[in-house]
């Protein structure tokens, strides 16, 4: 039927299902092939990746931008390293996310001793840099409405603070996070926290677990506690972190519901065994 012949009331009725789909979290952009357990476990996704170095920016200490070589508009993620570390410690994750269709900046902090609050501010400065000051090629790849943060250790604590202070972010991924504050009741950003059972720097009892418990029940959230892992496990290529990090970012940055089963459904249930995780808590469905 020709829409021009329909009365306005009927047109509005036709529009309601589309609006409801958006509000319910239906996929806004299915970027890349449908995920499988094999593709998420692999060390790289299907996108070829280019890089751009960032030197002497405002607000953070520089870094590297990983972006899909294929033209398009992709979500944007900033990742902070931990205390005394540099961007090289989280470079593997930046590239891994980019190969699944995301633009990622891994940052150096202004000093390696910067605390979580400062790292939160620098994560947001890095996102702003990519959107406004990166090369024209990089800027052409970015959908500025879809931004997220991640970080290791104090960088993970910074990611939690950034998520609490910037509710328009689409996702947060704190990895063995450290922070003196354990209450994040104002976070509205979907957050996956990864802890390590053998962490002697930021013990899960004092950090990751109370961080997760404090997140509101109404905020999409998950807590993965790695079995046989240490505080520094996120500094090396790690299949569970890569798998769940990609799935989380794609589900909430892209709003791609194809990734939901790998966080809540049968593929997750068959993978998240006690061999890999001491515990995996979540408030599915999402």
- Name the burial class of residue 211, with classes exposed (0-12), middle (13-18) and buried (19+) by CB atoms within 10 angstroms of its CB: buried
User: What are residue 149's phi and psi, to 5 degrees?
Assistant: -130, 155
CA 246 – CA 241 distance, rounded (Å): 8
Return the SS3 of 254. coil
CA 180 – CA 251 distance, rounded (Å): 29
Who contacts 246 (Cβ-Cβ below 8 Å, separation ≥6)? 35, 40, 45, 96, 97, 100, 259
Cis amide linkage into residue 209, ω under 30° from 0:
no
CA 261 – CA 258 distance, rounded (Å): 7
Alpha helices, DSSP H, located in 99-201: 116-132, 136-141, 154-165
Give the dihedral sign, CA 30/34/37/38: negative
Who contacts 61 (Cβ-Cβ below 8 Å, separation ≥6)? 107, 108, 109, 110, 111, 122
CA 51 – CA 30 distance, rounded (Å): 23
Tell me the catalytic residues.
153, 199, 231
Instruction: For the chain, give the number of residues.
Output: 286
Q: Token pair of 44, please? A: 């790289």
């Amino acid at each position: 039927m020709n829409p021009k012949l329909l009365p306005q009331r009927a047109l509005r009725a036709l529009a309601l299902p589309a609006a409801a789909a958006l509000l319910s979290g239906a996929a806004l952009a299915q970027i890349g092939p449908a995920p499988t357990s094999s593709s998420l476990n692999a060390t790289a996704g299907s996108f070829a990746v280019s890089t751009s170095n960032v030197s002497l920016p405002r607000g953070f200490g520089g870094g590297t931008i990983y972006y899909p070589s294929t033209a398009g508009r992709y979500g944007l993620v900033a990742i902070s390293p931990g205390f005394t570390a540099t961007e090289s410690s989280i470079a593997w994750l930046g590239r891994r996310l980019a190969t699944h269709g995301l633009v990622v900046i891994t940052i150096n902090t202004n000093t390696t001793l910067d605390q979580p609050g400062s790292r939160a501010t620098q994560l947001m400065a890095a996102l702003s840099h990519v959107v406004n000051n990166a090369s024209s090629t990089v800027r052409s790849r970015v959908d500025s409405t879809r931004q997220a943060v991640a970080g290791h250790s104090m960088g993970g604590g910074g990611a939690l603070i950034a998520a609490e202070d910037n509710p328009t972010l689409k996702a947060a991924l704190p990895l063995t996070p450290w922070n003196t504050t354990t209450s994040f009741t104002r976070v509205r950003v979907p957050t996956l926290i990864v802890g390590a059972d053998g962490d002697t720097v930021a013990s899960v009892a004092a950090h990751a677990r109370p961080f997760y418990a404090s997140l509101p029940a109404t905020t999409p959230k998950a807590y993965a506690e790695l079995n046989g892992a240490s505080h520094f496990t996120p500094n090396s290529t790690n299949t569970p972190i890569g798998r769940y990090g990609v799935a989380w970012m794609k589900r909430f940055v892209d709003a791609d519901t194809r990734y939901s089963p790998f966080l809540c459904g049968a593929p997750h249930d068959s993978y998240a065994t006690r061999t890999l995780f001491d515990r995996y808590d979540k408030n599915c469905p999402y």
